[in-house]
Amino acid sequence: MEINVLVVDDSSVMRAMISKTMGLSGLPLGKIYQAANGQEGLEVLSGHWIDLIIVDINMPVMNGEEMIDRVRANPELKDISIIIISTEGSDARIDRLRRKGAAFIHKPFTPETIRDTVKDIMNLGGSDAGTD
Amino acid sequence: MRERIDHILSRVTEAIFEKLAFMFSFPEEGFEPEIEPSAAEPPVVTEVFFEGPFSGRLVMSLSPRLLPELAGNMLGADDNEATTPDQRYDALKELINVVCGNLLPEIAGKQAIFNVGTPKIIEPEGAAPAAEETLLGDTALLVEDEKCELRLYGIGGIPDRFFQTDSGADASDAF
Ligand SMILES: [Mg+2]
- Domain assignments of chain B as residue spans, ordered by start: 2-31+44-165
* Reported confidence tier of residue B26, pLDDT bands at 50, 70, 90: confident
Is the CB of B93 less than 8 angstroms away from the CB of A11?
yes
The confidence score (pLDDT) of residue B158 equals 72
Look at residues B44, B38, B126, B141 and name the one whose alpha carbon lies nearest to residue B85.
B44
The confidence score (pLDDT) of residue B38 equals 63
Question: Cα dist. B23→A76, A87, B18, B67, B124 in Å?
Answer: 44, 19, 5, 11, 23
Q: Using CA coordinates, name the residue in chain B closest to A9.
A: B94
Q: What's the rounded Cα separation, in Å, for the pair B116 and B127? A: 18
- Is pLDDT of B31 > 50? yes
In this structure, what is the dihedral angle of CA atoms B124, B128, B132, B136, given to the nearest 10 degrees? 120
Q: What's the rounded Cα separation, in Å, for the pair B167 and B76? A: 42
Alpha helices in A24-62 (DSSP H): 38-47
Chain B nearest C-alpha distance from A68 (Å)? 18
Question: Cα dist. B46→B1, B33, B93 in Å?
Answer: 25, 15, 7
* Reported confidence tier of residue B30, pLDDT bands at 50, 70, 90: low
- Is pLDDT of B147 > 60? yes
The ipTM value here is 0.89
* Assigned fold of B2-31+44-165: Chemotaxis protein chec (3.40.1550)
pTM comes to: 0.89
pLDDT tens digits, one per residue of B75-87: 998 998 889 999 9
The confidence score (pLDDT) of residue B40 equals 74
Q: At A110, which amino acid appears?
A: T
Beta-sheet strands, E only, within B3-52? 25-27, 44-51
The confidence score (pLDDT) of residue B145 equals 86
Q: How many CA atoms lie within 13 A of A121 on its CB side?
A: 24
Q: What is the mean pLDDT of residues B97-126?
A: 94
| Domains, chain A, with CATH or none | 3-121 (3.40.50.2300)
- Which residues does chain A have within 8 Å of residue B105's beta carbon, measured at their own beta carbons? 89-90
Residues in chain A: 132
Strands A29-35 and A103-106: unpaired
Burial of B109 (0-12, 13-18, 19+ CB in 10 A): middle
Q: Using CA coordinates, name the residue in chain A closest to B101.
A: A87
Q: Using CA coordinates, name the residue in chain A closest to B114.
A: A90
How many other β-carbons are positioned within 10 Å of the β-carbon of residue B23? 20
Q: How many CA atoms lie within 13 A of A120 on its CB side?
A: 13
* Reported confidence tier of residue B4, pLDDT bands at 50, 70, 90: confident
Average pLDDT, chain B: 87
pLDDT tens by residue, chain A, 132 residues: 799 999 999 999 999 999 999 998 889 999 999 999 999 999 999 999 999 999 999 999 999 999 999 999 999 999 999 999 999 999 999 999 999 999 999 999 999 999 999 999 998 875 454 444
Is the CB of A14 less than 8 angstroms away from the CB of B71?
no
- Is pLDDT of B164 > 80? no
The confidence score (pLDDT) of residue B3 equals 85
Chain A nearest C-alpha distance from B96 (Å)? 11
Q: What is the mean pLDDT of residues B163-174?
A: 43
- Is pLDDT of B9 > 50? yes
- Is pLDDT of B127 > 90? yes
